[in-house]
Amino acid sequence: MTATAVTVRVPAKVNLQLSVGPLRDDGYHDLVNVFHAVSLADEVTAVADGRLAVTVEAAPGSAVAVDGVPVDGDNLAVRAALLVAERLGVEPSARLRIRKAIPVAGGMAGGSADAAAALVACARLWDDPESPLLGREDLLELGAALGSDVPFALLGGTAVGLGRGERLTPALTRGTFHWVFATAGGGLSTPAVYAECDRLRDAGGERAGLPDVSAELMTALATGDAKGLGAALANDLQPAALELRPSLRRTLAAGQDLGALGSLVSGSGPTCAFLAGSAGHAAELAAALGDLDGVREALPAHGPVPGATII
């Protein structure tokens, strides 16, 4: 049966390790990027109806500020829908409704998540249900064309990303990890944070080598060792994000004082991630961090969770 409306839930990511290698000739950096999908999620609904259009709203109960999200062809979900239509040779006839709980420009890949969700929703809406043209590999390939973080939003779980982050291998994990994400007012631009990272390295005379996957991190994940995971968290973009947003230092320090097992800036920031020892500990941490100056919301979440899923 042909679907007339499809809703896809898609997770945010936090980078457990983000190691940034030297700047390549093509303007990208070689990365070691350990992605972890968490239960903070957007929902994208595609309704088969009229010309391609998109609306964006905060998810019920969420205080995400959505005013920075484009509602035209710049929206990554719209670009994803157009790619699917082009590949299937159909008219891109759908209304997309995005309900956001992932902070915008927060270093949690919300735009990439919406693109992944739109790929899955539009493929379900427009592809032949009896003998689909687009399989999982095709969606991963379309995702990689949209952005380095999109394939992981399709895959979910925990995965090591090499290259620009898009060459993914699932990582072995055991159990569930409990997190708190402290969002900040206003976003940080990912290109600006990378540029600041390059500037700080040049100024310090530092030459980055090709990064390696952290063995400590992989062991902590495979054994479900939250303490070990907290100690192994690492983000090379953090000094640059702190330089551009010094108030994040206070947020990170407060989390440590409150007994977080580990803390780091999520991706390019400004969201800060804190690892807790249990769901109860995460709830306590969230309550305390939510009262801090400079913290917009402190949201408990857990991971790993699956990637983009039709609900």
Instruction: Indicate the pairing of strand 53-58 with strand 29-47.
Output: unpaired
Residue of 22, 68, 175, 185 that binds ligand ATP (CB under 6 A): 68
Site residues for ligand ATP, window 169-208 (CB under 6 A)?
187, 190
Site residues for ligand ATP, window 128-157 (CB under 6 A)?
149
CB of 40 to ligand ATP, least distance (A): 11
Give the start-end residues of each E strand in the chain. Answer: 5-23, 29-47, 53-58, 95-100, 158-162, 167-170, 177-183, 234-235, 262-265, 272-276, 297-303, 309-310
What the block records as the tokens of 27 is 């303007």
195: number of CA atoms within 13 Å, CB side? 6
CA distance 106 to 185: 9
Give the interface segment with ligand ATP, choosing from 67-75, 209-217, 220-228, 282-290 (CB under 6 A).
67-75
Of residues 34 and 226, the one with the C-beta less far from ligand ATP: 34
CB of 284 to ligand ATP, least distance (A): 26
The 89-108 site mask, x for binding ligand ATP (CB under 6 A), equals ---------x-----xxxxx
- Look at residue 1 and give its three-state secondary structure: coil
CA distance 219 to 304: 16
Of residues 76 and 226, the one with the C-beta less far from ligand ATP: 76
CB of 187 to ligand ATP, least distance (A): 6
Q: Which residues bind ligand ATP (CB under 6 A)?
A: 68-70, 74-77, 98, 104-112, 114, 149, 187, 190, 267-268
